Amino acid sequence: PNASMSTQPLVLIIEPFYGGSHRQLIDYLTGEILPPGCWHLVAMTAKKWHWRARCSALHVAQQVAEAAKDKQFSHLFCSSVLSLAELVGLCPCLAATKKLVYFHENQLVYPVRKMRGERDFQYGYNQILTALAADLVLFNSRHNMDTFLHGIDSFLNAMPDYRTRGLGAGIAAKSQILYLPIVPLASLADGQLEPKRSRISAQKQDLDTQKQRSIQQQQQPQDLEALQQPPSDTELYPHSFNNRLLILWPHRWEHDKNPDSFFTAIFALADSGETNFALCILGQSFAGPPPPAFEAAKKRLPSDQIAHWGYLENRQAYLACLSACHVVVSTAEHEFFGLAMLEATSAGCYPLAPRRLAYPELFPSDCLYNTDTQLVKRLRWLCRGGPGLARRLRAEGDFQTRLDRLKPEALRDSYAQLFA
């Protein structure tokens, strides 16, 4: 090894799905935790998740082998989308590297529409092998960690024979919970909303340029379009909605977020004669056409009760929309962390979430409902109280203490310790 390799340890960061919460975490590591020049990023665009989970190790191995010609990596940090066991087998140069894997979700309990016998076994199996190959396994919530560790044996029951038992205990011994940082949002002024500037904000443009260059070296030009779309000018909502309760849905347009229950609650609200509300429907669909509930709801609801409908690619417009809304709702069948709900709460929304999944460890009890009927009653009460009631509940509730523990500065030492 040359002198630079022996004196300058590097963190190898691998993200096969560089988008959403995955991208936010990588940007936090490269922008807040690791000094410039002390990390090397191998990333792939946030497209075709299923193929990333199956095959990304092969592409990443080529990139790592090339980088390892003049770099020596002290740590490897990746998300569980990557099949880490495959990568380690393909890259002997990583044998002595400390390997950290972050679980944004886990495939052992990820809900599917098909019967359990038709679940794609490979995704969960790869994640089990990834956890076994790692030196440290990180989870974004206790719910995520518990469902993974406790679900390994039952998941492996799908094997016809030679089932290995007791893997959960070994993985648990090297596991810990490390929440995803939530960037606080400044107040809305003159239609512009800016995230609070970090201590290295002056370096941010250079870091983004470096990361985009790293990705560009690995992707075809058409793949880069998804990462480099210019921002668009998007009006938040007509002023006629100002006095109505704005109800926000900021989730993926997929079945596991249970949009059927959400729109059923909205229809029940409208059928009861309540009109003092409008909807802001954000989010996007990654896996084919969205559930039919979205098209049906848009046709059924009056246009004057739809403040916004569709994906906001411009991050600034998205954050501004969160700040304009009063109530954010989840009806999810699965949620391993709830980034969209937490961002909306940070922006000033009052959250309503089911009393299950990761929500009880993140939100106050009075924001949680047990049944869809309870959700409708809470929404009706909020509609009658109007935006003022929602804002007052958000201001008076036990939110700030909970959000403070998720701030980037509150988590900085825990993340920095990973690479010590």
Among candidate residues 47, 43, 52, 49, the one with its CA nearest the CA of residue 83: 52
pTM, to two decimals:
0.84
pLDDT at 239: 52
pLDDT at 223: 36
Both tokens of 33, joined, read: 């935790």
Instruction: 32-38: list long-range contacts, CB under 8 Å, 24+ apart.
Output: 32/181, 32/198, 32/199, 32/200, 32/408, 32/412, 32/415, 33/412, 33/415, 33/416, 33/419, 34/419, 36/203, 36/206, 36/207, 36/210, 37/8, 38/8, 38/9, 38/10, 38/11
Note whether residue 112 is domain-resident: yes
> Sign (positive/negative) of CA torsion 251, 252, 253, 256?
negative
**Looking at 150, 178, 206, which one is the last position of a domain?**
178
Mean pLDDT over the full length of the chain: 85
| 16 and 162 housed in the same domain | yes
| 251 and 172 housed in the same domain | no
| 41 and 162 housed in the same domain | yes
**Looking at 178, 198, 223, which one is the last position of a domain?**
178
| 284 and 159 housed in the same domain | no
Note whether residue 208 is domain-resident: no
Both tokens of 54, joined, read: 């199956």
**Looking at 153, 178, 203, which one is the last position of a domain?**
178
pLDDT at 109: 87
Three-state DSSP at 110 gives coil
CB 62 within 8 A of CB 90: no
- CATH code, 103: 3.40.50.2000
Q: Mutual orientation of helices 259-271 and 292-300 as an angle, nearest 10°? A: 20
What range does the domain containing 34 cover? 11-178
Which residue bears the tokens 């869809």? 372
| 138 and 254 housed in the same domain | no
The pLDDT tens digits for 124-155 are 999 999 999 999 999 999 999 999 999 999 99
Among candidate residues 369, 346, 374, 348, the one with its CA nearest the CA of residue 357: 369
pLDDT at 5: 42
**Which stretches of the chain score pLDDT less than 70?**
1-9, 111-119, 184-240, 242, 287
Note whether residue 193 is domain-resident: no
pLDDT at 145: 98
Three-state DSSP at 244 gives coil
| 363 and 247 housed in the same domain | yes
| 29 and 163 housed in the same domain | yes
Distance CA 351, CA 390 (A): 9
DSSP class of residue 29 equals I
Note whether residue 184 is domain-resident: no
Total tally of structural domains belonging to the chain: 2
